[in-house]
Every structure is written in C-alpha cells, then in structure tokens.
C-alpha cells in the first residue's frame, strides 16, 4: 500500500482520501468488527484474493475468534449454505418426500418451490398465500 499513490487508490475505490482515512480510523478503533460481504466480492475476477485480504485484515486486528467479531459472507439466498449443509433443498428428492409421508402420515406437496426472486415475483402477482421467511431481508 505504501508504494501506491493516493490518486490511484482514490480512483480505484471511488472514495476520497479523507473518506478512506476515516474508514480506517473507525475500523482500527473498533473493539469488535464483523466484515460482511456478498456476491459481488465472491464472484468477480479477483474474488479469492479479495476474500483472503478481508480475512487477513480481520486476523491482523484480532477480529477473529472473539464474540461479536468475525467474517460474515452473505450468499445469494437466505441461509443457502446452512440449508444445504443440513440437506434442505427447495427441490426435495422423491425418496425424502416418500419417507416423510410414511413417517408423519401426510401427503407432501410434490410441486417445486420458488427461489427468492421467484417468490417475490409470485407475491407481486398475488399468487402467494403465506410466506414464512427466517433470517432474510426481503426489503433489501
């Protein structure tokens, strides 16, 4: 960073030197920092290097491994990684639905569910009767 001129940094970031210095001072003075990023960071040409540097910054300032601090990547759909880790999918396999019906004595809906964008579009068309959303921010 020391070898990079401020005009290059400000041109590439879209922020003024004063704004960058204020952001750095705020970060440096914070007791706890959670770095959050979304798809733009993870899906561009330099995504791996960018995530590595976000992580390195958090490590450098002791912001990993303590309550109220850490890394928080946000995926494209609410809790997509947590759901997949537990085996939840909006396109449930036939064997799973068959087992649920046998064990809980009900008829499972075999229709495919909506993804987030499709659900919002269906709401706008008045096609959704009930929505249960956990941990998502549909206003965003």
- Domain ranges across the chain: 1-30, 31-74, 76-140
Q: What is the length of the chain?
A: 140
Predicted confidence band of residue 42 (pLDDT cuts 50, 70, 90): confident
Mean of the pLDDT values across residues 13-30?
Answer: 96
For the stretch 84-139, pLDDT in tens is 555 566 677 899 889 989 999 999 888 877 777 788 899 899 998 877 666 665 65
CA distance linking residue 112 with residue 92, whole number of Å = 8
For the stretch 46-85, pLDDT in tens is 988 999 999 999 999 999 999 999 998 877 665 566 655 5
Long-range contacts: 24-29, Cβ < 8 Å, 24+? 27/61, 28/61
């Amino acid at each position: 960073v020391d070898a990079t001129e401020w005009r290059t940094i400000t041109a590439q970031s879209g922020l003024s030197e004063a704004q960058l210095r204020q952001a750095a001072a705020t970060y440096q003075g914070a007791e706890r920092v959670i770095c959050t990023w979304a798809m733009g960071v993870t899906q561009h040409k330099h995504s791996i290097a960018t995530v590595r540097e976000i992580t390195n910054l958090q490590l450098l300032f002791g912001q990993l491994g303590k309550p109220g601090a850490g890394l928080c990547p946000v995926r494209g759909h609410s809790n997509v990684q947590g759901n997949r880790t537990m085996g939840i999918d909006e396109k449930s396999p036939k064997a799973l639905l068959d087992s649920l019906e046998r064990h809980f004595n009900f008829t499972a809906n075999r229709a495919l569910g909506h993804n987030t964008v499709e659900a919002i579009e269906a709401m706008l068309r008045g096609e959704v009767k009930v929505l249960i959303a956990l941990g998502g921010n549909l206003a965003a």
